[in-house]
């Protein structure tokens, strides 16, 4: 059973979930907030994505649709090489001091 990050204890404490032996937190369950003027381009992408926002971007994470992190960059500088990713759809999580927003990215 997969549940949103940060909610694991609540699920374990709820009586209707006591029969589940394995409850896992997944990152794709984190709710996003809107980051002002956040842009990811090009999308679809082949090799390098550019991500801009009104405020400083602290960290970028890329997840598969089943919630597995495949790339992470702390101290983000505006560009990220994604050429090693296989073709498909990914979720890009962008972190700023104003919040976290998740954007769908298509890798060609």
| Both tokens assigned to 33 | 């907030």
- What's the pTM? 0.70
Residue 4's pLDDT is 62
CATH code reported for the domain at 32-107:
2.60.40.3080
Every domain of the chain and the residues it spans: 1-30, 32-107
Can you tell me which residue has the tokens 């002002």?
Answer: 36
Using DSSP, state whether 28 is helix, strand or coil: helix
pLDDT in tens, 31-84: 557 888 999 999 999 999 999 999 899 999 999 988 899 999 998 999 999 999
Can you tell me which residue has the tokens 């919040």?
Answer: 99
d(Cα 58, Cα 75) in Å, to the nearest integer? 5
Residue 17's pLDDT is 66
d(Cα 92, Cα 107) in Å, to the nearest integer? 11
């Amino acid at each position: 059973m997969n549940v949103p990050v940060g909610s694991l204890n609540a699920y374990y404490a709820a009586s209707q979930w006591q029969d589940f032996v394995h409850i896992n937190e997944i990152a794709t369950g984190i709710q996003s907030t809107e980051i002002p003027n956040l842009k990811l381009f090009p999308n679809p992408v082949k090799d390098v994505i550019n991500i801009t926002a009104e405020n400083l971007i602290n960290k970028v994470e890329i997840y598969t649709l089943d919630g597995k992190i495949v790339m992470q960059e702390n101290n983000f500088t505006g560009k990220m090489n994604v050429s090693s990713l296989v073709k498909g759809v990914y979720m890009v999580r962008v972190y700023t001091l104003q919040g976290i927003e998740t954007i769908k990215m298509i890798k060609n």
